[in-house]
Structure 1
Amino acid sequence: MDRHFQCTLCGRCCYGMLPLTVEEALERAGRVPLALVWMPVPKGARTFETVRRLGLEVSLGRHRTVAVLVSPMAYLPPAMPCPDLTADNRCAVHEVKPVRCRAMPFDPRRREDDQSDSLTPRPDWICDVSAAAPLVYEDGHILNRMAFDAEKAALQAQAPLLRAYAESRLRLSPNVLQDLKRVDPRRGVTGTLALSFTTLLPRLPDVDPTAFADAQAPVLEANLARTRSTGPEGPFHRYYREVLETVRADRR
């Protein structure tokens, strides 16, 4: 099916969580609250094989298996805009914006021939998908694929690092597996699991943990102050509070 698409600068895709590469996350430590978000996909889902190749396969017991992608994330509530979104809905860092933003609306976490519904705007988005917009997807192929391929390459390059990290956490921290079981879609509970980005730092020998903590602490403090402990912001508020304690300890 041929699909047309053009961004109208509505800014609605610039709200909430944003997947980043490890490098992008480190570069933005002084701008956004960071997390390592675990995203389980049940076996049988269309994205299972792609996510498994980029992440890892995890048995949850009782014949339940999920593919899990661990992604560095700008960890923002759904209603909170990216700090780089300007008042006129433009990107303040357009020339150096993350590969996830560049590849939109396509996503290499899915097969190339499974991108059609990504071109359907969400209810409050006003993307132009009329016949007057540029043709971007034809017969299951992305026509202008430079940004898509760049993000795919970035995900593949960091996959061994994040896979080794995830396997280690599952082996050493049984509570991580228990938390994954609670968000398993096959049990009727969807969602993600967020762990502190600081848990990855021991695998990044060139990163100074104190410098990272100095960058993240004021960001976490600011986001803790602007979010509520209840409602949709509750999980984010609690995460900021808990991680801030760890980050403050790293600054001592």
Structure 2
Amino acid sequence: MSKGKRAGRFLILIFLGICAFLIYRLISRSGTSYRECRSEHGLCGIYYLLNVDGMKGLGHAALMLTDEQGEGRIFSYNGMQYNLAQCLLGKEGIGKMKEFFLDREGVEELLDTGNLPAGEYEECSNFDRALWRKISREQYEIVVQAAEVYIAAGEDFERLYAALYERSGEEAEKLWKQIEDFPKREGIPLYQIYTHNCDTAARELMGAIDDEVSGYNESAAKLTPNGNYRNMCRKLGDTWGFRRLGEDTFKETLLNYLM
């Protein structure tokens, strides 16, 4: 067989492999577009929100709670102590849990279009998918208390850093030692881009009031927010609903099928 024919067959095999991969992706994602939430109890809600093209295409996840009046609280966890390059190298440090408040109209707009009202929301300015269920007021408060552990850690760390710039000499050295030792404190949540990130924190908060999610976190979790959203849509029972938010851009459509 000539080299030209062998090369031609090799290219055909590559083409068929790509086609098979795309068909598999299409089939595996076809069942994760919409499912109604079957949970009947509770006037509040909990939402795992996914920004498909957030965090350089790896996806960004946040958690939203809604109360009896339909108003929302969004919790979004990111690294704070180290820059992106250091985080990508695996550095573990203090993270910041940001909290945003939405009125009822803002929540409705988010669930309709995926967009938040104009403001400094960074990775949370747009979401593309939501996984949700109904919860009670008691469960709502449990999640808020769990989120406050993250919020308090970030605020305490920021206060230490702010105080450092107001000190000099021996006092500054003592403060710097406190900053270095802060991540070693018992019970302090630490951000690690591969093992404890925005997605991990959101799922931990969900698991605080849902045994099924807690079990998923222990045995079936994936590496990225995009992967976990799709996997949870398949593995969690129908007490959880899921849906698209707004229309996908070309980039979001591409990432949805490739990532």
TM-score (norm 1): 0.26
TM-score (norm 2): 0.25
Question: Where is the helix percentage greater, Structure 1 or Structure 2?
Answer: 2
Query: Computing the radius of gyration over CA atoms, which structure comes out larger, 1 or 2?
Result: 2
